[in-house]
Structure 1
């Protein structure tokens, strides 16, 4: 039964063990994103205002709650690549838990509350990450995305944005999937910035430029694992 004496153990798990498990989870995602050629990789631990940013790690005010990662421009932005990326989180959690259990078994690490909590909450993380469900904010669990990728569901079909120069009007334009004009300007830089903003906000997406009748990819923005 949970008692007053167990409160310190609860806070230890909440403020120390869970953030570590969250980081391990996100590290699994970005490891495979890196293997697939992902650029601008960032691991975010927590939510709220940013506390500090070091290398690819960003720690936020409420570091013990939530976590996600972001990256763009995958060289291998295919279904299998994305399945590996979204599976990476639970794979790293499982490997970390197995490693801790092995070290305890061979007595390299002493069994205690920390090892128990790490193993328990790793399994907790794995279960809820793989549970195929939508979240209230409109995002999906890793399991839901993996299942949809396997089934090739339409909600994860890429949005395509194109920029091109309308020579008759002397205007740079941003076009959506149906070639509808979303933005136009005399300045290429303004249109390009707007196109990147739209593509980032509507992942998964690809940003293309039409040159001499051919489409050249500028950047791609995969869906963001949690």
Structure 2
């Protein structure tokens, strides 16, 4: 039964152990994103206002709650690559929990409250990450994305945006996935900047640049693992 004496243990788990587990989870996503050639990798720990940034790491005010990573331009942007990336979080959680259990079993690490909380909440994290469900904000759990990738569901199909030169009107056009004109520009860089903005806000997406009738991918924006 949970009692008064357990309250300090709860705060220790919530403010120290869970953030460490969350960071390891995001590290797993990042490792496979890097392995698949991802660029502009960023890890966010917590939510709320940004407290500090250190390289690719961003720590927010409520560091003990939530986390995600983002990356762009995967060189190997395929179903299997994405399955590895979205599985990376739970894989790192599982391996770290097994490592702690092994060290405790062979006497290299003393069993105690921290080791118990670490392994317990690692399993907790793995379970809810793999549970295939949508979130209220419209995003999906890792398990849901992995399942959709296996089934090749259209919900994870990429949205394609294009930047094309319109010779008759002498202007650059930004086209949506239905090839409808979203906006026109006189400047090519301005058109590309707008297309990047649209593609980044509608992940997963690809940005194609049409020149001389040829479509060339200039960027891709994969889904963001949580």
Same fold? TM cut 0.5: yes
Counterpart of 1:123 in structure 2 is 123
| Whole-angstrom distance in 2 between the partners of 1:16 and 1:165 | 54
TM-score normalised per structure 1 = 0.99
The reply on whether 1:155 has 2:130 as its aligned counterpart is: no
> Equivalent residues in 2 for 1:11-26 (5 A)?
11-26=11-26
> Equivalent residues in 2 for 1:168-207 (5 A)?
168-207=168-207
Counterpart of 2:31 in structure 1 is 31
Post-superposition, which runs of at least 4 consecutive aligned residues in structure 1 deviate over 3 A? none
| Whole-angstrom distance in 2 between the partners of 1:184 and 1:103 | 61
Q: Please give the per-residue CA displacement for 1:114-169, whole angstroms capped at 9, x wherever unaligned.
A: 00000000000000000000001100000000000000101110000000111211
Residue 12 of structure 2: SS of its match in structure 1? helix
TM-score normalised per structure 2 = 0.99
Residue 122 of structure 1: SS of its match in structure 2? helix
Residue 25 of structure 1: SS of its match in structure 2? helix
Residue 211 of structure 1 deviates from its aligned partner by 1.2
Counterpart of 1:45 in structure 2 is 45
Q: Mark the runs of 5 or more structure 1 residues left unpaired by the alignment.
A: none
Counterpart of 1:223 in structure 2 is 223
Give the total of aligned pairs. 226
Residue 204 of structure 1 deviates from its aligned partner by 0.3
Q: Mark the runs of 5 or more structure 2 residues left unpaired by the alignment.
A: none
Residue 95 of structure 1: SS of its match in structure 2? helix
| Whole-angstrom distance in 1 between the partners of 2:99 and 2:51 | 31
Residue 30 of structure 1 deviates from its aligned partner by 0.7
